[in-house]
Every structure is written in structure tokens, then in C-alpha cells.
Amino acid sequence: MEALLAAGATVAAVTEQGQLDEQTWVERAQRADTTAFEALYRMHVDKVYGLCLRMTGNTAEAEDCTQEAFIQAWSKLSKFRGDSAFSTWIHRIAVNTVLGRMRKSRREQDRVQAVTDISPAPVTTGDSGNLEDLQQAVDGLPDGARHVFVLHAVYGYSHDETGNMLGIATGTSKAQLHRAKRLLAQQLKQNGYES
């Protein structure tokens, strides 16, 4: 919030009212007001970054993905009609961004510095102890399984919604979740967790 206060008078409109003011910011941002967009950014960046981080398992990737998602959101703002929550909308964009970057990195592994599959920097998410073990195990899942696990088990999207966001069938989402759970169980048992 400090950064917002520094940004100027328009920021004074941000109150505890949350939802209502978000709509104001969205409308202003849609009219190309970058300060308003910054307000939206501050409101949603933690969740978007969290999503990118869990889906990519890699800090540098997650930072790039977050920036790209907001940039994309800016360019698509006119298409946001407010029928879903802004956070859901931008999550979708974040998921598409992750998937798009993965497709690109598969094709361009040697060339591009920004998009690589190098061994990830250790991820700090603020989870403690056992949860950190779980986080690391999730990071180690194969892509498809990890994406579904993150969206469904961590973020609580239904299989329909998950399938929709990832461009896969609902059934495939269920299959991937099953696979994720099986692999996580194996990994965690190796770490000493009892079944």
C-alpha cells in the first residue's frame, strides 16, 4: 500500500471497500489510466505471482510470467466485461501465459535467456515445514500433472474450470490429478511421510 500512497492523489480513493473500488479502477484503467492499472496490479500481484510460481516452480520464470500476464491484461482490458471477477480473469491470463511460455521454451531452448528450463532457484513461498516439503514435491511433478494439481488442489478450481484454463478435457484433468497424487505420494513417502 505504501507504493500506492506515493503514487498520488487518485490513490486516496482506495479504501476498505475493495470490490466497488476495484470496479472504478478497472473502468479507469480501461480508459488507459496507468495509475489505475497500478492499483489493480498492487491488489492482485501476490495472487498472480503465487499462481505463476507454483505452476512454473521457478522464481525467475514466475517473475517474467507475472509481468507478462499483467502486460497482456493491460492490452486486453477492453475485453474484460466484469462478468467474472477481475482476479479470475487475470488468473486465466496468467495460466495462458505460463502455457504459452512453456510451448515457446520447448522450441527455443538454446536461444532465449528469458525462457529456459534450467534448474530452478529454490522457491520461497512462506510455507513452513511439511508444507515446504509438499511444495518442493509439487515443483518436481511433470508439467501436465503439476498444472492440474496447482489449479485444482491448491487454487480450488473445479476440473471443468481447470480443463478450460489449460485447454484440456475435464477427464484429462482428472487423470492428471490422479497421476499427480500418485507421484506426490511416492515422493513424500521417500521423504519419510507415513501413508
- Assigned C-alpha cell, 10: 487518485
CA distance 63 to 72: 14
Residue from 101, 125, 123, 127 nearest 114 by CA: 101
Q: In the chain, how many H helices and how many E strands?
A: 9, 0
Residue ranges in 76-95 that form contacts with other proteins under rule CB under 8 A: 76, 78-79, 81, 83
Q: What is the H or E stretch that residue 160 is in? A: helix 159-166
- Rule CB under 8 A: choose which of 10, 24, 136, 154 binds other proteins: 154
Give the range of 8-16, 17-25, 74-82 binding other proteins by CB under 8 A: 74-82
* Nearest partner of 183 among 144, 154, 127, judged by Cα: 144
CB under 8 Å to 193, separation ≥6 — which residues?
130, 133
Q: Does 58 bind other proteins (CB under 8 A)?
A: no
Among 107, 119, 190, 192, binds other proteins (CB under 8 A): 107
99 touching other proteins, by CB under 8 A: no
List residues near other proteins by CB under 8 A: 3, 32, 34, 37-38, 41-42, 45-47, 49-51, 53-54, 59, 62-63, 66-68, 70-72, 74-76, 78-79, 81, 83, 97, 100, 104, 107-108, 111-115, 124-127, 130-131, 134-135, 138, 149, 153-156, 167-169, 171-172, 175, 181, 184-185, 188, 193-195
